[in-house]
């Protein structure tokens, strides 16, 4: 069989899940046309935005300071909270539940309401990375916090409530499902071969060269072989580092650079401010060493054929497994061609 003509399933080595790929259905929606970006009509400051400097937050919860670069605050509507009674619930192993403690924060990337990662400067993005690192360290060092999930929902289509450039942090007691799967897969590989799963994977990708979007001295952005979302990408560190606190100054700058480049490239795909969910996957903060963990960032964008056509995970995908027509290689070539 070959991967460009015949239906096949690809293994996500990070999770152990499979994706069905039907390349013969690939209708080329791409005409090679690159138009100028639509001008962003958002103001630099929006008096009604809950996240702009000096504004009052939703429900009058607090007033934002006149912040000049990044700003972090406790989420006014936390999904996970620190102060709950703890315990287990179990009826005949049929109804099973556990209490979950943690906390949630919101990070504003910039005081400017009209920016996104794709049009922020490298020094500005570096400040975001510095704050992510500080938060990971501070929250992760709390006794009951065993995992810190940093993420961003961008775009109304992703359920993001506000276009002001911001992300979130949910820090909690237990490894959430996706992270637990990735920990298991990475540990099995590390125990067997003595190096991280993603270092071996990256070596192969750099040799094959067909799924690379862009790269710099410290990071590679690629479309993973097992991508589910049409424009899914992953940023992987060249070195086997486990988390943000292990990046040196050069690597922090390189991370800012590749985040800017990748998100700016996304904006060119459909001449739109590209929506996505982005998340940083890094080592758990449970007090034990995690040599198996290899730092990476996932981007899961929902768009399929245009700025308004979304991919829905429905039908077979809900009942069976995710499916795609456009191959990872096809999308990687397209994205690579759009990199400035």
Residues that bind Zn ion (CB under 5 A): 46, 49, 51-52, 113, 164
Residues 222 and 212 sit within 8 Å (Cβ to Cβ) = yes
Q: Given the complex with ligand H2U, which of 57 and 305 has the nearer CB atom? A: 57
Residues 279 and 265 sit within 8 Å (Cβ to Cβ) = no
Measured at CB, which residue is nearest to ligand H2U?
A: 57
Q: Which two tokens stand for residue 241?
A: 């580092």
Measured at the CA of 56, the angle between CA 277 and CA 52, to 5 degrees, comes to: 50
Q: Is 166 a catalytic residue?
A: yes
Q: Given the complex with ligand H2U, which of 162 and 240 has the nearer CB atom? A: 162
- Each residue 168-207 as x (binds ligand H2U by CB under 6 A) or -, in order, gives x---------------------------------------
Distance in Å, CB of 54 to Zn ion, minimum = 11
Chain-centre distance of CA 78, in angstroms? 20
- C-alpha torsion 105→40→129→186, nearest 10: 80
Annotated active-site residue in 113, 164, 166, 294: 166
Rounded distance, CA 231 to CA 326, Å?
A: 9
Q: Given the complex with ligand H2U, which of 61 and 309 has the nearer CB atom? A: 61
- Each residue 44-63 as x (binds ligand H2U by CB under 6 A) or -, in order, gives ------x------xx--x--
Distance in Å, CB of 336 to ligand H2U, minimum = 29
Rounded distance, CA 127 to CA 107, Å?
A: 11
> Which residues are within 8 A (CB) of 199 and not within 5 positions of it... i.e. 6 or more apart?
240, 294
Distance in Å, CB of 51 to ligand H2U, minimum = 7
For ligand H2U (CB under 6 A), the number of binding residues is 15
Distance in Å, CB of 308 to Zn ion, minimum = 24
Q: Which listed option, Zn ion, ligand H2U, none, makes contact with residue 176 (CB within 5 to 8 Å by class)?
A: none
Q: Which listed option, Zn ion, ligand H2U, none, makes contact with residue 153 (CB within 5 to 8 Å by class)?
A: ligand H2U
Residue 283 has what DSSP assignment?
-
By CB under 6 A, name the one of 162, 186, 237, 240 that touches ligand H2U: 162
Q: What would the DSSP string read from start to end of 59-96?
A: GG--B----SS-EEEE-TT-SS-S-----EEEETTTEE
Distance in Å, CB of 78 to ligand H2U, minimum = 7
Pairing of strands 18-21, 323-324: parallel
Q: Which two tokens stand for residue 158?
A: 């992703």
Active site residues: 166
Residues near ligand H2U (CB under 6 A) are: 50, 57-58, 61, 75-77, 106, 153, 159-162, 166, 168
């Amino acid at each position: 069989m070959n991967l460009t003509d015949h239906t096949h399933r690809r293994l996500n080595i990070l999770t152990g899940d499979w994706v069905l790929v039907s390349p013969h259905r690939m209708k080329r929606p791409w005409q090679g046309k690159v138009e100028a970006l639509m001008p962003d009509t958002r103001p630099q400051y929006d008096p009604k935005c809950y996240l702009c400097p000096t504004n009052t937050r939703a429900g009058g919860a607090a007033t934002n300071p006149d912040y000049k670069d990044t700003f972090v605050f406790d989420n006014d509507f936390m999904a996970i909270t620190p102060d709950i009674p703890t315990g287990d619930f179990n009826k005949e192993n049929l109804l099973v539940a556990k209490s979950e403690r943690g906390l949630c924060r919101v990070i504003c990337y910039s005081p400017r309401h009209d920016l996104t990662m794709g049009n922020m400067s490298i020094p500005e993005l570096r400040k975001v990375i510095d704050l992510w690192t500080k938060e990971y360290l501070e929250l992760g060092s709390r006794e009951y916090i065993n995992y810190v999930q940093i993420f961003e929902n961008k775009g109304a289509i992703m359920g993001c409530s506000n276009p002001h450039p911001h992300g979130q942090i949910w820090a909690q007691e237990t490894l959430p499902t996706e992270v637990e799967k990735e920990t298991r897969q990475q540990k099995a590989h590390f125990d067997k071969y003595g190096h991280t799963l993603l270092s071996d994977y990256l070596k192969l990708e750099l040799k094959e060269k067909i799924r690379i979007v862009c790269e710099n001295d410290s990071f590679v952005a690629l479309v993973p072989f097992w991508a589910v979302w049409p424009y899914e990408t992953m940023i992987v560190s060249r070195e086997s580092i486990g988390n943000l606190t292990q990046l040196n100054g050069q690597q922090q700058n390189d991370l800012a650079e590749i985040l800017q480049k990748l998100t700016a490239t996304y904006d060119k795909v459909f001449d739109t401010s590209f929506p996505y969910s982005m998340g940083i996957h890094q080592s758990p903060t449970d007090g034990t060493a995690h040599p198996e963990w290899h730092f990476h960032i996932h981007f899961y964008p929902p768009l399929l054929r245009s700025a308004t056509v979304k991919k829905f995970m429905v039908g077979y995908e809900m009942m069976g497994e995710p499916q795609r027509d456009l191959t990872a290689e096809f999308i990687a070539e397209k994205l690579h061609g759009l990199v400035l």
